[in-house]
């Protein structure tokens, strides 16, 4: 059987209702007769006009509680919940409605410091030293533990974090090489930065890294002197979740 095109037009004017039913019945019969038949379907406003390039057109003269797909390629779903900058969201049963996106709620955002007025922290040569922090400039959910100088990634906090840190050391009479590391669960993760200073100077170094952390991870930062002992005079650590 040759391929045929069937146009089903859901006419809205009362005189044509009988003809519309006949057309629908005829179309159904033809579709059952052969799987090779193709149809154009127009539903709603202007039922007698359908773009030749469209298989299905759903059009409404109003936007209330209607769905329409036009040849411009845009899809409009207007059910009364629509609004500017809303997103289409499904519930557990699959029923969708437009909703205003929830406000951003990042579980981990904090900044902690060891100021110049706090006691200097000795850095033993070639030993990993956990930096001692004394103050939280801000800590959204009290994530950082100032007693143990670490933070635990909370439930729901798995994702990618930006870690920013910097430190300065005391002036000593020999060459200094100081390394700043990120540790996770007691294990080295990556170097944050390294600083060097000639004899008679102190080190000032800073670095930034993006790391993947999982809920339950315990994170701290440590410094190590390269063969010499020194002291941390100031230190800063900023951490925040940037993406899940």
Please, how many CA atoms are within 13 Å of residue 60, restricted to the half-sphere of its CB? 13
Q: End of a domain among 64, 99, 134?
A: 99
105's enclosing H/E stretch is: none
As a whole number of angstroms, the distance between CA 82 and CA 62 comes to 14
Question: Measuring CA to CA, which residue among 239, 241, 236 is closest to residue 135?
Answer: 236
pLDDT band at residue 3 using 50, 70 and 90 as cut-offs: very low
pLDDT in tens, 89-140: 988 888 888 998 877 788 999 999 999 999 999 998 878 999 999 999 999 9
How is residue 18 written in tokens? 């009988």
Is residue 28 in a domain? yes
pLDDT in tens, 76-98: 777 888 888 889 898 888 888 89
pLDDT above 90 as % of the chain: 52
Residue 77 contacts by C-beta under 8 Å, 6 or more apart in sequence? 67, 88, 96, 98
As a whole number of angstroms, the distance between CA 56 and CA 50 comes to 9
Is residue 104 in a domain? no
Question: Measuring CA to CA, which residue among 199, 137, 140 is closest to residue 173?
Answer: 199
- The answer on 142 and 197 residing in a single domain is yes
Q: List phi, psi (to 5°) of 15.
A: -60, -20
Q: End of a domain among 99, 123, 143?
A: 99
DSSP H helical segments within the chain, as ranges?
17-33
Q: What is the domain extent for residue 182?
A: 109-243
- Count: domains in the chain: 2
Where on the phi/psi map is residue 65: left (φ > 0), alpha (ψ -120 to 50), or beta? left
As a whole number of angstroms, the distance between CA 165 and CA 182 comes to 10
pLDDT band at residue 176 using 50, 70 and 90 as cut-offs: very high
């Amino acid at each position: 059987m040759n391929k045929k095109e069937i146009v089903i037009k859901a006419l809205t004017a009362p005189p044509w209702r009988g003809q519309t039913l006949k057309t629908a019945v005829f179309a159904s019969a033809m579709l059952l007769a052969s799987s090779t038949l193709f149809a154009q379907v127009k539903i709603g406003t202007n039922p007698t006009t359908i773009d030749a390039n469209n298989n299905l057109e759903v059009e409404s003269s109003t936007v209330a509680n209607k769905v329409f797909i036009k040849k411009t390629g845009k899809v409009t779903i207007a059910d009364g919940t629509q609004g500017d900058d809303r997103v289409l969201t499904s519930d557990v049963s699959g029923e969708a409605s437009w909703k205003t996106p929830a406000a951003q709620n990042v579980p981990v955002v904090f900044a902690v410091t060891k100021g110049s007025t706090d006691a200097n922290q000795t850095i033993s040569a070639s030993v990993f030293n956990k930096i001692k922090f004394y103050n939280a400039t801000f800590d959204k959910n009290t994530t950082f533990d100032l007693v143990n100088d670490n933070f635990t990634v909370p439930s729901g906090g798995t994702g990618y974090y930006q870690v920013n840190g910097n430190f300065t050391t005391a002036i000593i009479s020999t060459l200094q090489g100081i390394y700043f590391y990120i540790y996770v669960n007691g294990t080295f993760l990556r170097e944050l930065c390294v600083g060097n200073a000639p004899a008679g100077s102190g080190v000032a170094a800073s670095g930034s890294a993006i790391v993947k952390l999982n809920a339950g991870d315990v994170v701290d930062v440590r410094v190590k002197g390269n063969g010499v002992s020194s002291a941390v005079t100031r230190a800063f650590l900023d951490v925040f979740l940037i993406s899940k």
